[in-house]
Structure formats: structure tokens, C-alpha cells
Structure 1
């Protein structure tokens, strides 16, 4: 198993660093283009949520990203230093009463683009899995 870690201060412009991290992983682990697009959208959305919602844009708090590569699975673990959230309380953004609302689409997207999503530590840690087969 290979593991790569990075931590960034909670500034939205640091998403660029995460994009470079994913680009490097694409080269290192020969990730195909189909999965690469899903990874880029899911991981950057998750990091964005961690910065904005988890750490409340507090640049003194970090967002941690860890990539574990094992066999044919890529696992991205994103962790913030906030108080967490209850993933069961998330509203369905496709429901008629929520269709006009601006929030709630990120996790919906992440769940549809990732092969598996787990929320741990009261929502402060998210694990996104992608199968490379």
C-alpha cells in the first residue's frame, strides 16, 4: 500500500494545491481519464466543504488529505478540524422543495461520482473510494 499526505490551511484558493496533488497522483498511479474526472470533482468539492463548512474559513485550521493506494482502489481521506455534521441530516437536493436552494449539492455529487463514501468522526472525516478496474 502506498500513502501520500498533504495538509493545507483553510483558504479556498488552496484548492489549486489539491488539484496539483490529484494531477500528480494521476501520473504516479496511472489513473485513467474517466476516474480522474470523478476524483477531481469529488475531492475538490469535499475539500471545499471542509474549508467552508468544517473549518469555517479559519486559515489557522488545517484540512488534511491522505491518499491510500491499495490494489485497484484509491482511497482519499479528507479531514477538517471543525465540529463535524450529521450526514443523515442532509436534505436531498433533487427533492422539489430543495431544487431552488443553493446548498446541499456537493455531497450529493460526491456520492454519485465516488464508488464509496464514508463519513467518520461525526462527519469531520470523509473517505472517498474509487475503483480503478
Structure 2
């Protein structure tokens, strides 16, 4: 089982570090373009949420990103140092009253791009799983 981990201060420009992390994973695990695209969008979205909503752009707080690979599954864990949130009480972005709202699509997107999305630690950690078929 392989595990790779990085930690970044909560600044939006650090998303490019996350992008190179994913590029390295693509090469190391020879990911095809379809799964790579889904991973890139879902993981950067998740890290962005952690930076903005979790850590409130506080550069004194870090976001950690861990990738675990086992049994043909890639598991990305994104963890922030914020207060957490109630992930069971999210507005449905596809509901007519929410269609014009700019936010609220991130988690919906992640659930559509990943094979599995799990929240832990009161919403401070999200685990995005991708099955390698």
C-alpha cells in the first residue's frame, strides 16, 4: 500500500501544489485521462472548500492532503483545521430555488465525480475514493 501526503497553508494560490501532487499521482499510478480529470476537479474542489470554508483563508491553518492506494482504489483524504460543518444538512444545488446561487455545488460535484465520498471528524475531513477498473 502506497501513501503520499502533503500539507499546505490555507492560501488559494496553493491549489497549484495540489495540481502537481495529482499530476505526480497520475504518472506514478498510470491513471487514464478520464479518472485523472475527475480526480483533478474533485480533489482541487475539496481542497478549495477546506481553504475557504474550513480554514476561512487563515494562512496559519493548514490543509492536509493524503493519497492512499490499495486494492485498485485511490483514496484522497482532505483535512482542514476549521470548526467542521453538518454535511447531512446541505441544500440541494439542483433544487429550483438554488439553481442561481453561485455556491453549494462543490460537494454535489464531488459526489458525481467520485465513486465514494465520505465525511469524517465533524466534516473537517473528506475522503474521496476512485475505483481503478
User: Does the pair score TM above 0.5?
Assistant: yes
Q: Give the deviation of 1:36 after TM superposition.
A: 0.3
Q: Give the deviation of 1:59 after TM superposition.
A: 0.4
Query: Over residues 80-133 of structure 1, what are the superposed CA-to-partner deviations in whole Å (9 max), with x where a residue is unaligned?
Result: 000000011110101001011111001100000000000001000000000010
Partner of 1:58: 58
Partner of 1:70: 70
Gap runs ≥5 in structure 1? none
Aligned-partner Cα distance in 1 for 2:41–2:92? 19
Query: Per the alignment, in what secondary structure is the counterpart of residue 103 of structure 2?
Result: coil
Aligned-partner Cα distance in 1 for 2:102–2:26? 31
Partner of 2:118: 118
Aligned-partner Cα distance in 2 for 1:125–1:106? 15
Aligned-partner Cα distance in 1 for 2:56–2:120? 19
TM-score (norm 2): 0.99
Describe how 1:82-101 pairs up with structure 2 within 5 A.
82-101=82-101
Query: Per the alignment, in what secondary structure is the counterpart of residue 20 of structure 2?
Result: helix
Aligned-partner Cα distance in 2 for 1:90–1:121? 17
Describe how 1:1-133 pairs up with structure 2 within 5 A.
1-133=1-133
Gap runs ≥5 in structure 2? none
Aligned-partner Cα distance in 2 for 1:91–1:6? 31
Aligned-partner Cα distance in 1 for 2:60–2:71? 36
TM-score (norm 1): 0.99
